[in-house]
Structure 1
């Protein structure tokens, strides 16, 4: 892959979902490939296909799994028509990789010269395994805007990938992994997601966003920051996005909201940051900017809000700006588990107090809890259940602690040989223990 190549067309595919029966299917606008498209649109002719949004096809798969989104034949037809030089796919969840593998194999049947590049959380932490699939050529590790741009430029120039940061590829059948060391420091410099290349009308017709209590079908997801300063044992955010928390300016965030309102008629924003309030003063400035611009929107935080960052002033601003729901990430109702096992910087007493204050507002509350951590006792799990009842949130989610790739939890489970013999990342379930 070091000879000069004519690279004219890129096809970005958000693949069909592969989900288990207990999973709630919630399609949403794919921000990752939309950001890539925003950066690349002036560099190369490109096309986006959002397979879950553009087709209602469903197929029952093995072991209780379902393929949801465009069928293999529908995807093949689109790619044959597009005639791309490169197909890029995102793999956020390990359960989707079998679908990506199958699509990659189909692409090579269309034309073995088409390059297949994948990115996302799973391939970032499992590059050797993912590249063991012959139909997958290379992987973009971590955030991909700069890497994929340089990848295309190096292809055209016939340059080696040996110095391409955050990139995994095959060199004479040997897998080479260049670690991710460079990150985009100024997130304001990144163009807004290329939503004009997405089937925006379909999301309002078919899509169900993360929140089950949405106020408007005219919604859009947004991300205002990357990463998280906390290093919880179950989460790979800081490993994927880099150890330093980075964020967009309040003005830049408000400008994107304004574009969403003016161009797409958006009435609801779903902030999908891993930790939008990590920098409390910036968060306050964002919500104050929404108020100052008189944006008439509603918003929530489906990925959760960091309880240790909240105070009454911030909650008041959130409500005034349009917040109608908060998902509170307690993870456990036992301080010992939170502090010594989960390693989350939460004081449960203070978290309980701010939760009670939130409940005095016109804000719906949900809560996240995770049980079944290695070292957690039955009594501690029961304590979490009692705590959840005491919090009286409108809804509480309970998940099994899964050892996901890139997490400290996986390293612990692996080192202590705690995983079941048939353990497979691709079949993880939030309702079944992997230990």
Structure 2
């Protein structure tokens, strides 16, 4: 603990681990849960230190990172040996993020923390969490190590096998209660980043639907709207930083669009703010009407990701029955009518569900191209505790997180040759869409 004016001040170190995977790209990835914990700890008088292995604006990255579109970009990466389970995958396995020695230098420059909080992302990224735990333990054998986030929430028993003291499942605040820390609806502590190339925000948490492949209900039991004053303060902070691009992390924004978007538009006008909003989690197609499309356009929604998942009617109904072919066509028509192009409209299509044949995915790709939109092929990752995850038990060991890797699992289901053919077709059609958009500008 540090001493401040005669009293002991607890010290916390918060860490975002590197990623171990076949591919990773900074697609507006920020761990807002950990940043909110940082804010809560700071409000409770803790001294905060922070290290993000995935920070592309870190000084060490100055000559190693090229900016991409809308604030996104490539991570620094090095090839590493593949885990045995991946030996049949004809792709290089990499570690994405700052080198270990940068982190170790950082640890040598700060006082010993009382608690280390580590964010867990995808279940199959747990090797990064394991790496951080091992480094922290080598420097601070007796420090309390806490892991929270998606990975420990979905696989708490597996996370407990790491050398950690506490595993935080979901929004369980019992540890913080024991530490005398009050849970608040805190704004993420964005100032921990000396530089941001984009912001991320939630207007809502959770989802009222219960699709068979999705973890939203496991991560947030209820669908709630965030306090508008807190959301407004966060947006105003991004405005002060001069940030242009903001990714919306909501799973179900449009369920409250008529309530949220007019407030957003008013805020932008009142403070002369101008953002480009992006929707990487996908919007619910069924809820897009002309009024909503107009509101999205005037408030600055720029890249519109739409959730369609499959062109197979029976499978669509089994997955959750959240959209039909007719509803997708209607949504695209109204979005085009307010000025969006095929380059702005990106539709998610799932590939690699347990009993999904490659021709079904191919049919979906052809269908979406006829609609004149861009296509995002989502290689399926089975999630523990979901119906689709239960089906995956037929072919993999769901207790091993690496088996959830989307490329690994999709290759198991479709075969490498079929998967590459589907990707090539999708890429071919997307190039045509980009050329069409370019010719019109």
**Shorter-chain TM-score: what band?**
0.7 to 0.9
- Report the counterpart of residue 346 of structure 2 in structure 1: 366
What is the Cα deviation at residue 251 of structure 1?
A: 4.5
The unaligned stretches of length 5 or more in structure 2 are 1-7, 62-75, 83-91, 414-441
- Shift of the 423–104 alpha-carbon distance from structure 1 to 2, 3 Å rule, reads closer
SS at match of 2:254: coil
What is the rounded CA distance, in whole Å, between the counterparts of 1:343 and 1:421 in structure 2? 22
Q: Secondary structure at the match of 2:406?
A: coil
Which has more helix, going by share of residues?
2
The partner residue of 1:59 within 78, 82, 106 is 78
- Asked if residue 196 in structure 1 is aligned to residue 191 in structure 2, the reply is yes
Aligned counterparts of 1:121 and 1:81: Cα–Cα separation in 2: 30
Aligned to 2:129: 100
> Matched residues in 2 for 1:317 and 1:65: separation?
43
Partner-residue secondary structure (3-state), 1:52: coil
Q: Measure how far apart 1:419 and its partner are.
A: 2.5
Q: How far off is 1:325 after superposition?
A: 1.9
> Per the alignment, do residues 103 and 426 of structure 1 end up closer, same or farther by CA in structure 2, a change over 3 Å counting?
farther
- Separation in structure 2 between the aligned mates of residue 193 and residue 329 of structure 1, nearest angstrom: 27
2:417 alignment partner in structure 1: none
- Alpha-carbon distance in structure 1 between the residues aligned to 2:412 and 2:164: 28
Q: Which residue of 1 aligns with 2:16?
A: 14
Query: CA 1:359 to 1:30, structure 2 compared with 1: closer, same or farther past 3 Å?
Result: same
Aligned residue number for residue 168 of structure 1 = none
Classify the secondary structure of the residue corresponding to 1:230.
Answer: coil
Give the direction of change, closer, same or farther, for the CA distance of 1:120–1:344 in structure 2 (3 Å limit): farther
Matches within 5 A, 1:344-359: 344-359=321-336
Written as runs of structure 1 = structure 2, the 5 A alignment for 1:296-315 is 296-315=274-293
| Root mean square deviation, CA, Å | 2.6
Query: Within 1, Cα distance between the matches of 2:141 and 2:399?
Result: 33
- C-alpha change, 1:60 and 1:426, in structure 2 (3 Å) is farther
2-side partners of 1:39 and 1:382: how far apart?
48
Matches within 5 A, 1:354-433: 354-363=331-340, 364-393=344-373, 395-414=374-393, 417-419=394-396, 424-425=401-402, 428-430=405-407, 432-433=410-411
Deviation of 1:424 (Å): 4.8
Tell me if structure 1 keeps the 8 A contact 2:120–2:149: yes
CA distance in structure 1 between the aligned counterparts of 2:175 and 2:266, rounded to whole angstroms: 33
Secondary structure of the residue that 2:109 maps to in structure 1?
helix
Contact 2:380 2:406 in 1 (8 A): no
Matched positions, count: 372
Residue 249 of structure 1 deviates from its aligned partner by: 3.9
Assess, with a 3 A threshold, how the Cα gap between structure 1 residues 347 and 429 changes in structure 2: closer, same or farther: closer
Q: Which whole-Å CA distance do the structure 1 matches of 2:199 and 2:42 have between them?
A: 21
When normalised by structure 1's length, the TM-score is 0.78
Contact 2:381 2:404 in 1 (8 A): no
Task: Please give the TM-score of this superposition, normalised by the length of structure 2.
Answer: 0.77
Distance 1:248 1:72 in 2: 37
Aligned counterparts, 1:72-221, within 5 A: 72-82=100-110, 83-133=112-162, 135-143=163-171, 146-153=173-180, 190-199=185-194, 201=195, 203-204=196-197, 219-221=198-200
Give the match's secondary structure for 1:118. strand
1:315 Cα shift?
A: 0.7
Task: For residue 236 of structure 1, report the CA deviation from its aligned partner.
Answer: 0.5
In the alignment, what sits opposite 1:32? 33
Question: What pairs with 1:195-344 in structure 2 (closer than 5 Å)?
Answer: 195-199=190-194, 201=195, 203-204=196-197, 219-242=198-221, 244-262=222-240, 264-293=241-270, 294-340=272-318, 342-344=319-321
